[in-house]
């Protein structure tokens, strides 16, 4: 068994991780998800704003 597979098994056995997976699955089934493109666009915008604010602080 590969190291990554062992890590995956350990995570699945972790109650906190299992609860998170169950919660996120329920949200997905209930239609409370969004397209990955939307999430990526939001993350890019956050990163861009972060870079801009860092540049302003340096001046």
CA angle 27, 30, 32 (to 5 degrees): 55
What's the token pair of residue 12?
């699945």
Q: Would the pTM of this model clear 0.75, i.e. be above it?
A: no
Range of the domain at 13: 3-58
Instruction: Count the alpha carbons within 13 Å of 41 in the hemisphere toward its beta carbon.
Output: 5
Distance, in Å, from the CA atom of 48 to the CA atom of 30, rounded to the nearest integer, reads 32
**Percentage of residues in the chain with pLDDT exceeding 90?**
56
How many domains does the chain contain in total? 1
Mean pLDDT of 6-31: 90
């Amino acid at each position: 068994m590969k190291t990554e597979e062992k890590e995956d098994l350990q995570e699945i056995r972790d109650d906190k991780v299992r609860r998170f997976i169950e919660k996120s699955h329920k949200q997905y089934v209930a239609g409370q998800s969004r397209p990955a493109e939307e999430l990526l666009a939001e993350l890019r915008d956050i990163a861009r704003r972060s870079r801009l604010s860092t540049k302003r602080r340096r001046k």
